[in-house]
Structures are given as structure tokens and as C-alpha cells.
Structure 1
Amino acid sequence: MRYLLVLLIFLPSVVFSQTNQTDANGLRQGFWQKKQANGRLIYEGNFKDDKPVGEWKRYHPGGQLKALIEYKGDTAYTQFFDVWRKKLTEGNYVNQQKEGVWKIYKNNVLTADEEYKLGLKYGTSHQYYDTGEVMEEKQWVNDKEDGDYQIFYKSGEPYMQCKMKLGMRHGLFLVNYENGRQEMVAEYRNNLRHGEWKHFDREGNLLYTLYYDNGQILNPNVRDSIDNLKMIELEKNKDTILDPEEFLQDPSEYMMRNQKNR
């Protein structure tokens, strides 16, 4: 009994002596913790030869789990959480830079994913509807939009398709009705409207054509007359109709709002 009492008395100091230790060469080894002034943990995990290994945990100021990290060599699979323990993002760091596919969540539901290479967006990214269907798909090169950019209806039919070059719209630009017919056939040059912009009705009939030269409209009288007609129509149905042309720079926002109005 006396030996047990002695062990219990000295056990805290033995445990403490095994925490936050360095070896003869000054390298961190074993279990480490860091705490706030109020005693709440900031992080905890293990080192081997001054490198983090195995499972690590980081905490919010209130003490809730903020990040769960699994180290394997130079790779750290990381999950981030909000203060309610709901997952925000997950993916791999390689040499402290994002690498591969990173997933983004809202209320524990996947809302987006992005591909990275050496810490920069490189590859394909997606944004999803709340019900899981792909809403947006983009191509990236060195953190800039470059390649195909598409927005989809929930049915999977394309709503908008265009080409991107170094973060700018450049080339053919298409907008479709949900029935699959083309609403607009147009073109961008270095992010500026250029060439013929043809607008069609839901039956495929040509309504009007606008002409642009590097962002400058060449037949403004046609645009103005069409805008006036649109304003009258939108005013009649202002609570139910969104003008897609107002969202050409943010088509995903148009799709989200359009779904909510249904």
C-alpha cells in the first residue's frame, strides 16, 4: 500500500517529464502539447526527430477540435472542423502545401472540391447543389481559371459553357435553356464581349443580334430597345423572374437563386 501511494504521488511528475522533451541534439521527441494561459489546449501530438508523426490535434480557443491531422512522412492528411464539430474541409498537405483533391463541406454535406498542385489550384474544381448534383465545373492552371468552364442545371443539362484563358473569358460563350435549346451564342476576347451575340427564344427562333468590337457595342439602339422590353417584362414579374444577363459574371449565383425561386 505504501509503495502504491508513493507511485501515485510521483506519477504526475513522471508523465510531465515525458511531455515536451528534446534530445541531446535539441530535436523534439515524443508527446508534445501547447496550452493557452487558461489551460486549454492549442495542439497536441508526437514528434520524432523534430518532425510531427502520427495523429495530431489542434483546437479552437474554446477548446473544440479544430483540426485532425495524420502525418505520414511529408504528407499530412488534414480535416478541419468548426466549433460545432462539423467538417469544413479535408485533403492532403505535402511539404506544407495543398496537394491533390480538397473537399469542402457545409453542414457536413459536400458542397465543392478542388484540385491542387504545389499549393496552387491545378486541375478540375466542382461546386455542387445541396442535393449532390454538379452545378459548376472549372479547369485551373497555376491558380488561374484556364480551359473549360461549365454551369449545369440540376438535370445535368448544360446552362452555360465558355472557354477561359489565364483567368479571362476567351472564345465561344454559350447559354442554353433547360429544354436544351440555345438561348445565346456569343464570343469573348480577353474578357470583353466581341463579335456576334445572338439571342434566341425557347423554340430556337432568332430574336436579335448584338455586335461588339472588343467590348464596344456597335448597334446600341438594338440593345436599348431590347433592354426597355426586358425591363417592362421583369417589372410585371419582378418577384418570380431573374434576368440571366445580370448574372453573366456569376452564373452559379443565378442558378442558386433560380432554384430557390421555384
Structure 2
Amino acid sequence: MKAFFILFLLLPVVAFSQINQTDSNGLRQGRWQKMQPNGKPMYDGYFKDGKPVGEWKRFHENGRIKANISYKTGSDSAFTVLFDETGKKMAEGVFLGEQKAGLWKYFSENKVIAEETFEKGIKNGKSRKFYSTGELWEETDWKEGKQEGSYQVFFKNGKPFFQCKMSNNQRNGLCLSYFENGRVELEAAYKNGLRHGEWKYFDNQGNHRYSLFYNEGEILNPNVRDSIANQQILDMEKGKDSVIDPEKYLSDPTEYMEKAKIRR
């Protein structure tokens, strides 16, 4: 009976001694745990021949789960779910080694708010942002970490709000912004990120209002621009114009949508 009691007391010691073990070659084997200075866990998982395998957990300083990691057998691929300090899911996707790979999804209140595609830790492919109700808000093409191809912003009803072609992170060619009824509000020409060529402005019935002309960023008819600006000031003073000038926020269409209270 006494021997059994002593064995019972030794069990926790034996169990603990089987954690955080290395083999004769110095490779980590079996279950490993590490604690934070505050006594809460930092991580808990398994190694085989020095490589993490199976299910892993990492923790925030407050002890809540920071990441659930599932390693694929025989691979450096690990499906990972990330959480904030309150326990809410923030993101999920695959790490290949220490780099993001493939599709990553980002969450707010358990709803997908954004998606990004990675190759060797660099954005490559399409990224998307969504309205809180799930509709597509913004879509961007990436190549080797740079905006390359199409960039689009959408109204909640699915119609385009802004469309542009990107090359090496710069606008090139014709960019279009739209009224919510689907008619073009502005045709804006770019060359290597600079305003270049004719910029056509329309009203919401499709009628051409005026044009501005640019040469590599320099305006060629400033008298027209100044006249329009003065008229806008007069209209605002008379309370006729409560709509934000689209050109003012053309550098950031999503900011324009926020300012104009279009995005909800």
C-alpha cells in the first residue's frame, strides 16, 4: 500500500519529465510546452525529429488562444486560425514554413471582411474586401506584391463605383468612376501614375459637363478648372451642392465612399 502511494505521488513528476524532450541528436521529440513569465501558457504542441507536427496552440499573454495550428503530415504546410485577445477569430489560412501561402481570409464578428492570395509570403492574385453584409466592396489584382491589372470598387448593389488599370502600383490608361445609377461620372486618363490626356466629367444623366486636359501631371486648361472650382464654391454657399467632388478623393475611392456615406 505504501509503495502504491509513493508511485501515485511520482506520477506527475514522471509525466512532466516526458515533456520538452530531445533525442541523442539534440532533436526535439514529443510534446513541448512553454510558459510565459506570468505563468500562463505560451505554446503547446508536438515535435517529431525537430519539426512541429499535428495540432499546436499558441496563447496570448492573457491566456486566451492566439493561434490554432494544424501541421500537414510530411510537409511544412500548416493551416492556421488566428484569434484576438478576446477570443474572436481574426484570420485563417496556410503558412508554408513561416510564409503565408494561398488564400487567406480575414474576419470581423465571424464574418469574412477580406480575402488575400499569397505566394511565398507575397500578395499574388486577387484580394477582396466585403461590406459588413457580405457584398463585394473592393477587388484588386496583385503580382509579386505589386498592384498589377484591375482595381475595382463596387456599390453595395453590385454596380461598379470605380474601375482602373494598374501597372507596377501605378494607374495607367483610363480610370472610370460611376454614379449609383450606373452612368459614368468621370473618365480619367493616366500615364505612369500621372494625369495624362483628357479627363471627361458627366452629370448623372450622361451629359458631358466639361473636360480637363493634362500632360504628364500638368494641367493644360487651368482656366476651366478654376472656373468650375469657383462655381462649386458658389453652389455650396447656396446649399445646392451637398455631394463631395469625386476628383477630391480620386486618389482613394474607398475613402470617398466613406466621406460620401456610400459604404454602409
Tell me the TM-score normalized by structure 1.
0.95
1:234–1:12 distance in 2 versus 1, CA, 3 Å: farther
Unaligned runs of 5+ in 2: none
Mapping of 1:48-127 within 5 angstroms? 48-72=48-72, 73-127=75-129
3-state SS of paired residue (2:157): coil
1:11–1:120 distance in 2 versus 1, CA, 3 Å: same
* Worse-matched range after superposition: 115-124 or 247-256: 247-256
Counterpart of 1:33?
A: 33
Question: Once superposed, what is the RMSD of the aligned Cα atoms?
Answer: 1.8
For 2:85, give the aligned amino acid.
Answer: V
Counterpart of 1:209?
A: 211
For 1:59, give the aligned amino acid.
Answer: F
Q: Aligned match of 2:244 in 230, 242, 254? A: 242
1:31–1:234 distance in 2 versus 1, CA, 3 Å: farther
3-state SS of paired residue (1:58): strand
Cα offset for 1:38?
Answer: 2.4
Distance 1:156 1:260 in 2: 13
Distance 2:32 2:9 in 1: 22
Distance 2:257 2:263 in 1: 10
For 2:155, give the aligned amino acid.
Answer: Y
Unaligned runs of 5+ in 1: none
Cα offset for 1:100?
Answer: 0.5
For 2:92, give the aligned amino acid.
Answer: E
Residue identity (%): 52
For 1:49, give the aligned amino acid.
Answer: D
Mapping of 1:1-262 within 5 angstroms? 1-72=1-72, 73-235=75-237, 241-259=243-261
Cα offset for 1:3?
Answer: 4.6
3-state SS of paired residue (2:260): helix
3-state SS of paired residue (1:62): coil
1:91–1:233 distance in 2 versus 1, CA, 3 Å: farther
Q: Is the 8 A contact 1:151 1:158 kept in 2?
A: yes
Distance 1:154 1:53 in 2: 43
1:192-240 per-residue CA deviation (whole Å, 9 max, x = no partner) reads: 0010000000111110000000000000111111112223334555995
Distance 1:235 1:110 in 2: 42
3-state SS of paired residue (1:203): coil
1:68-111 per-residue CA deviation (whole Å, 9 max, x = no partner) reads: 11111210111111111111111101122111011111222211
1:137–1:6 distance in 2 versus 1, CA, 3 Å: same
For 1:32, give the aligned amino acid.
Answer: W
* Worse-matched range after superposition: 140-149 or 37-46: 37-46
Q: Is the 8 A contact 2:55 2:68 kept in 1?
A: yes
Distance 1:261 1:101 in 2: 25
Distance 1:9 1:108 in 2: 45
Count of aligned positions:
262
Q: Is the 8 A contact 1:181 1:203 kept in 2?
A: yes
